[in-house]
Amino acid sequence: MLHFADSLTFSGRKVVAAWAALPFPALAGSSLPDALSAHQDVPWKLLSSWKEQKVSSCFAQSVVLRGISQEKAPRSPLHSCESPEQVLQHYLHTQFPGAFSTSHVLQQPCHTQPPFPQFFSPLLTRRGFLQDRAQGSSSAGVGSSPVLAALQSCPGLHWLLAGLCRELRPRRWGGSCTAGLEQDDVQEALEELRTLAQCYETGSGADGSEDEADSD
């Protein structure tokens, strides 16, 4: 995983964010172009811990989609792509123009039999696709699901790293120093973290509030 994340980071960046849509919201019988065209924004959810829940740009990303049919009819630019990989690449370039994107499409879905936690909506079929109405009161029968997942180097990571800088403000150093860490070591680590956060700034909407918080 370390080497995989390294392949997505450059210009001093070392951190990537994790995203996933499990299940990927697709109607039963829908093709890959149909499923992607139904979402104006990428339907994944953030798994990393920062408050920003929508990312409109990124520096680099690796995306994997599995469990969606490649059947299609020529009705849109996505439908005209010759392979599922081209469909996903076209979609990613539309959503994140200028970003370095790698993508993989696997035909096999993600298996979700026990002991996989059964947190699914009753609107899902046994294969994890959406349907108009629930069949039964439990989703315990979901045995597989289509999934869209990504690791992404994106500007939003600036806020995650800047938040860590605020948490490490000087008045909180006392416990660290009594635990065997020197104050100079803590200061050096804080400066490295601040420098890393600055690597994710894009020049628009940059906020220096973390510097004010660190000076408390």
Q: What's residue 212's pLDDT?
A: 42
Q: What's residue 183's pLDDT?
A: 74
As separate numbers, helices (DSSP H) first and strands (DSSP E) second, the chain gives: 7, 7
DSSP 116-127: S-----TTB-TT
Strand boundaries in 74-133, DSSP class E? 100-106, 110-111
| pLDDT above 50: residue 199 | yes
Structure tokens at 74: 């020529």
Give 26's contacts (C-beta < 8 A, 6+ positions apart).
34, 35, 38, 68, 129, 130, 146
Structure tokens at 95: 């959503």
pLDDT tens readout for residues 41-50: 888 888 877 6
Q: Is the peptide bond before 23 cis (omega within 30 degrees of 0)?
A: yes
Q: What's residue 33's pLDDT?
A: 86
Break the chain into its structural domains and give their ranges. 1-153, 158-199
Beta strands 45-46 and 17-21 are: antiparallel
Question: Which residue carries 């919201």 as its tokens?
Answer: 25
Res. 138 pLDDT band, cuts 50 70 90? low
Q: How many CB atoms lie within 10 A of CB 15?
A: 18
Q: What's residue 83's pLDDT?
A: 85
Under a CB-based contact definition with an 8 Å cutoff, are residues 201 and 211 in contact?
Answer: no
